[in-house]
Amino acid sequence: MLRMESITKKFPGVMALKGVSFEVYPGEIHALMGENGAGKSTLIKILTGVYQRDGGNVLFDGKKVNFKTPLEAQEGGISTIYQEVSLIPNLTIAENVMLGREPKTKWGSIDWKKVYKEAEIILSSLGITVDVKKSVNEYSTAIQQMVSIARSVSMKAKLVIMDEPTSSLDDKEVEVLYKVMNQLKAQGIAIIFVSHRLEEIYKMCDKISVLRDGSYIGTWKTSELQQESLIARMIGKSEREVASLSDKREALDKSGESVLIQLEGVKQGNKVRNVHFSLHQGEILGLAGLLGSGRSEVAKIIAGIDGKEEGTLQIHGKEVNLYNTKQAIQKGVAILTENRKTEGIIPNMSVRENITLACLPKISKFSFISKRKQAKLVDQYIRRLGIKTPNPEQKIKNLSGGNQQKVLLARWLALNPDLLILDEPTRGIDIGAKAEIHSLMDELSANGLSLLIISSEFDELIQNTDRIIVLKDGVRVGELQGEERTQDNIMAVIANEGGIGEGKEATVTHG
């Protein structure tokens, strides 16, 4: 259905694509894999008309095509579902589905009855039941994504490109997406699927194509490509080296260390209803739970972003009430939130400025920044965290996600905190950088820093923490230590509200 032949694309100073060829057949889900910077997005953007290719051919549906704009591509039958949902938030679901092709009455005005009816038919054909008259922003990201998919399918898309569609969905929502994907597949629609989550690649995709440094490495059937060999091909290392990357952290029992953070009966609104746990010096504690379980909200309470209504928070054994992040920082608590782009980086500032933003008081006298101290600090962190940047003056927005995340880590580490909270520390980051951040977490905790990790990828928690607290609907429902930390156990705790962790505690006390 789609054949891209030796596509090249040059950007000033870089060869982004060096003769990439790539084929997709009807009714297949085809994963496009590669590290950030491998050329995946460039390839997709060329396909969808965002960029123009410098060389090569694109054949779609047997015809040579050359889309100039995303709109042309869409009209030609190629639709793209982006990571950030691209609907219009203030319009209704129905309007979003029908935008640009609203049925009209004979007087030329919009026939609203028909708009709603057609939108409903389109959505229900994919098994999506929503109130089409409600505005889009009243629904979750997942539903919004389904709506975009429904829209593109109804526009006679033959090829749907999904660019990290699951990165902002929780497990239940992902299931719905899978169902829709299978439905598209059954209709003979081809899907190009881009994701960093290997698990879902292996679950959903028929074939995998790998790009590395702008070159095409190859295409394999999913069933014939082991995970290790896939990663090896993506990062260009041997399989043995890869195997060492995904080592599970051996859980350390830090309960003997002094207690750094102690939460008791913490409540805030209906997101956090009853949470208690303690966090020890040098411990890596994971907070697991589905989206909406209150995991981020708990972190925000500890970091002083949000207040709590009930319960106590102790830091270093002293009860504290935090009203802002500045107080939390003074008490040694720093947070790296889940929204790197909006709550983390200052895009137009340099790497140097981004690193030292939070610790300026430390390196300045009477509000004058000591350039010497700043440069020293920045150099130190760039080296220590392995931040890949041409120089410290590079604007942070030009760095890859993984390197941006490292800069943010540096920003908070420069404050020498006792506790660093990392909310989704590796979301949207490629495998190499992910492994680096994970080993960094290890190293930091070995040096006595406590870490609180939140992740929607249970595997990430299991492999990188000492202990996991499980939350459900704002309530602590379990705790998993050592070998108990498995995906099944986390799911079981969530499903049974305390089957394993808390249940055990209960049986002990009863017995």
Partner 1 sequence: MKAAVQRMTSSIPIRFNASLIQQQGAFIALVLLIIYASLSYENFLTSQNIINVLKQNSMIGIVAVGMTFVILTKGIDLSVGSLIALGGVLSAYLTNVNMILALIIPIAITALLGMVNGLIISRGNLEPFIVTLAMMIGVRGIVFIITGEQSVIVTEGAEYFYYFLGNGLFLGVPFPVWLLLLIVGISWYVLKMTRFGRHTYAVGGSENASQLMGVKTKNIKVWVYVISGTLSGLAGIILAGRLGGVAQPVAGNMWELDAIAAVVIGGTLLAGGRGGVIGTFIGVMLLGIVLNVINLDGTLNSWWQPVIRGLFLLAIVIIQAKIMNTKKLKT
Residues of this chain that interact with partner 1 (CB under 8 A) are: 70-71, 74-75, 80, 86-92, 95-96, 99-102, 104, 108-110, 112-113, 116, 133-135, 137-138, 151
Whichever of 21 and 86 has its CB closer to partner 1, that residue is 86
Whichever of 72 and 502 has its CB closer to partner 1, that residue is 72
Going from the C-alpha of 76 to that of each of 71, 287, 393, the distances in angstroms are 8, 45, 43
Nearest approach, Cβ of 395 to partner 1 (angstroms)? 20
Whichever of 111 and 257 has its CB closer to partner 1, that residue is 111
Nearest approach, Cβ of 294 to partner 1 (angstroms)? 15
Nearest approach, Cβ of 100 to partner 1 (angstroms)? 4
The tokens of 228 are what?
A: 């290790």
Query: What SS3 string covers 13-28?
Result: CEEEEEEEEEEECCCC
Round to whole Å and give the CA distance between 162 and 22: 16
Question: Nearest 5°: phi and psi at 392?
Answer: -65, -15
Nearest approach, Cβ of 486 to partner 1 (angstroms)? 35
Whichever of 51 and 112 has its CB closer to partner 1, that residue is 112
Nearest approach, Cβ of 165 to partner 1 (angstroms)? 15
Whichever of 114 and 373 has its CB closer to partner 1, that residue is 114
Residue 133 backbone class (left: φ over 0; alpha: ψ -120 to 50; beta: rest): alpha
Whichever of 121 and 495 has its CB closer to partner 1, that residue is 121
Nearest approach, Cβ of 134 to partner 1 (angstroms)? 7
Q: Which of 404, 409, 341 is nearest to 381 (CA)?
A: 409
Q: Which residue has the tokens 């006298």?
A: 365
Nearest approach, Cβ of 48 to partner 1 (angstroms)? 9
Nearest approach, Cβ of 133 to partner 1 (angstroms)? 7
Question: Nearest 5°: phi and psi at 167?
Answer: -65, -20
The tokens of 81 are what?
A: 């579902």
Nearest approach, Cβ of 95 to partner 1 (angstroms)? 6
Whichever of 48 and 489 has its CB closer to partner 1, that residue is 48
Strand ranges for 73-140 from DSSP E: 78-81
Whichever of 38 and 153 has its CB closer to partner 1, that residue is 153
Radius of gyration of the chain (CA): 25
Whichever of 91 and 491 has its CB closer to partner 1, that residue is 91
Round to whole Å and give the CA distance between 405 and 411: 10
Strand, helix or coil at 397? helix
Going from the C-alpha of 344 to that of each of 187, 334, 357, 452, the distances in angstroms are 42, 12, 11, 17
The tokens of 201 are what?
A: 């690649």
> 176: exposed, middle or buried (C-beta count within 10 Å: 0-12, 13-18, 19+)?
middle
Those residues whose C-beta lies under 8 Å from the C-beta of residue 341, and which sit 6 or more positions away, are 347
Strand, helix or coil at 132? coil
Question: Looking at the DSSP assignment, which residues form a beta bridge with residue 280?
Answer: 259
